[in-house]
Amino acid sequence: QVQLVESGGGLVQAGGSLRLSCATSVGTFSTYVMGWFRQAPGKEREFVATITRSGSSTYYADSVKARFTISRDNVKNTVYLQMTNLRPEDTALYYCAADPRLSTVLDGRPNYWGQGTQVTVSS
């Protein structure tokens, strides 16, 4: 069982920055593709970013490209999402996710999910 715990959410003004963290308890962290998803009120959950096991490749939703950066530390068993130039439309509950397969994460069907951390961007 993979446990994921997000942190770092909060309230920020438009144009500001936040860094989300997702810590895991799994001993084989480097065997999992990690991703971030988000769900805004009244909307479906959507893909934000993902990073491969070694961290050599990353993928982003068009809406966050050039503003968000996903990274991972395979020693600390942690994945990060650096968010800059935040917009009110980035307001959502942000979820960390993990799966052994990249395709599964990109399809929005990872096996493991965190509880989420709230990000609110004021205008």
Backbone angles phi, psi at 7, to 5 degrees: -155, 170
pLDDT tens for residues 32-91? 999 999 999 999 999 999 999 999 999 999 999 999 999 999 999 999 999 999 999 999
When pLDDT is averaged across residues 1-18 and rounded to a whole number, the result is 96
User: Residue 27 above 80 pLDDT?
Assistant: no
User: Residue 26 above 90 pLDDT?
Assistant: no
Alpha carbons 14 and 1: distance in angstroms, whole number: 37
Strand spans (E) along the chain = 4-7, 10-13, 18-24, 33-39, 46-51, 58-60, 68-73, 78-83, 92-99, 112-113, 117-122
Contact 14, 86 (CB under 8 A): yes
When pLDDT is averaged across residues 7-11 and rounded to a whole number, the result is 98
Long-range contacts of 106-114 (CB under 8 A, 24+ apart): 106/47, 106/50, 106/59, 108/37, 108/45, 108/46, 108/47, 110/33, 110/35, 111/2, 112/2, 112/4, 112/32, 113/4, 114/4, 114/5, 114/6, 114/22
